[in-house]
C-alpha cells in the first residue's frame, strides 16, 4: 500500500507551523522587501522578484521537514505553474482578460495554502518574461500568491468547498475585485508616488475598476469550467502518491451544481 505522507507540524484545529511561516512571510517579509526594493529604485525589481520566489519556497520545503520531498511533488507544482503561465499567454492580445488566477486558486485548493502561494508567485514572475518585467512584477507576485494562499487556507478550513462550483466561482470574482485588483492598483500609486494626492489616488482606483471587472470575469469563467475536471485529476494524483496536503483517504467526491 502506498504510504501517505503527513505534515506532523499540524495541530488539531489549527494551522501547521509551515502555514504560519508562510502567513508571516506574506504579511511582513514580502511587503518589506517590495518597499525596500522600491526605495532602491533602478532595476532592483529583479532582485526583489527572486527574493520573493525564495521566500515562497521556504514554507513549502519546511512542510517536508519530517521526510524528503519527492520529485513528483515538485514536478506537479511546476506543471501547474506552466499551465497558469500558458493560460495568461493565450490571451496576450487581451491584457485585462487573465485566467491565470483561476488556475492558481485551483492549485491552492488542491495542494494547500503554501503550494498556492508558491504557484502564484512563480507564475507571475515567469509569465512576465512574456508580458514584460518591471517594478510591478513583485506586486503581481504578491497578489497572485495571496490568491492561491487564501484559496488553500479557506479550502483547508472547510469554508471554501471545491465541490460547489458556484461558490468557488463567486470567490474567484471577489478575490479579484477586493484583493488582487486593488493591490495591483496600489502598485501603480507607488510608481507615481511623487505626484500622488487624494484625487489622483481615487482616479487610479476608479480607472482600475473596469479592468479588474474584466479580469474577474476571466477568472470566474476559468473556475466555473475547470474546477471540477482539474480538482478530480489533482485530487486523484495527490491521494495516489500521498502528496503534500493529503493526510487521509478522502470521502467520495460529489460535484454539486448550484
CB-CB contact of 27 with 116 (8 Å) = no
Q: Which residue has the cell 506574506?
A: 26
* Contacts for 166 with CB less than 8 Å, ≥ 6 apart: 224, 257, 258
Residues of the chain with pLDDT > 70: what percent?
81
Q: Which residue has the cell 500622488?
A: 196
* Contacts for 213 with CB less than 8 Å, ≥ 6 apart: 177
Check whether 17 has a pLDDT greater than 90. Answer: no
List the alpha helices (DSSP H) in 63-160: 71-89, 100-111, 113-131, 137-156
The pLDDT value given to residue 251: 41
* Contacts for 1 with CB less than 8 Å, ≥ 6 apart: none
Which of 27-41, 156-170, 225-239 is the least confident region? Answer: 27-41
- Whole-Å CA distances, 16 to 66, 107, 153, 172: 13, 18, 11, 25
What average pLDDT does this structure show over 6-31?
70
Its pTM stands at: 0.82
For residues 101 and 216, what is the distance between their CA atoms, to the nearest angstrom?
9
CA 136, distance to chain mean position in Å, is: 16
For residues 22 and 88, what is the distance between their CA atoms, to the nearest angstrom?
25
Amino acid at each position: 500500500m502506498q504510504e501517505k505522507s503527513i505534515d506532523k507540524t499540524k495541530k488539531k484545529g489549527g494551522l501547521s507551523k509551515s502555514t504560519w511561516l508562510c502567513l508571516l512571510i506574506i504579511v511582513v517579509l514580502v511587503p518589506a522587501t517590495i518597499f525596500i526594493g522600491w526605495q532602491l529604485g533602478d532595476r532592483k525589481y529583479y532582485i526583489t522578484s527572486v527574493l520573493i520566489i525564495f521566500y515562497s519556497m521556504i514554507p513549502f520545503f519546511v512542510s517536508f521537514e519530517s521526510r524528503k520531498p519527492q520529485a513528483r511533488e515538485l514536478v506537479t507544482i511546476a506543471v501547474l505553474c506552466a499551465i497558469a503561465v500558458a493560460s495568461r499567454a493565450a490571451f496576450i492580445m487581451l491584457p485585462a482578460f487573465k485566467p491565470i488566477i483561476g488556475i492558481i486558486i485551483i492549485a491552492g485548493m488542491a495542494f494547500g495554502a503554501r503550494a498556492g502561494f508558491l504557484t502564484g508567485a512563480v507564475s507571475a514572475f515567469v509569465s512576465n518574461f512574456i508580458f514584460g518585467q518591471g517594478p510591478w512584477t513583485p506586486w503581481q507576485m504578491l497578489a497572485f500568491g495571496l490568491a492561491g494562499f487564501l484559496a488553500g487556507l479557506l479550502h483547508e478550513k472547510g469554508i471554501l468547498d471545491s465541490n460547489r462550483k458556484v461558490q468557488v466561482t463567486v470567490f474567484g470574482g471577489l478575490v479579484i475585485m477586493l484583493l488582487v485588483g486593488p493591490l495591483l492598483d496600489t502598485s501603480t500609486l507607488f510608481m507615481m508616488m511623487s505626484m500622488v494626492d487624494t484625487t489622483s489616488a481615487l482616479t487610479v482606483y476608479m480607472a482600475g475598476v473596469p479592468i479588474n471587472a474584466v479580469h474577474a470575469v476571466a477568472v470566474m469563467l476559468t473556475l466555473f469550467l475547470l474546477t471540477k475536471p482539474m480538482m478530480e485529476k489533482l485530487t486523484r494524483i495527490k491521494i495516489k502518491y500521498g502528496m503534500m496536503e493529503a493526510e487521509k483517504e478522502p470521502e467520495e467526491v460529489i460535484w454539486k451544481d448550484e
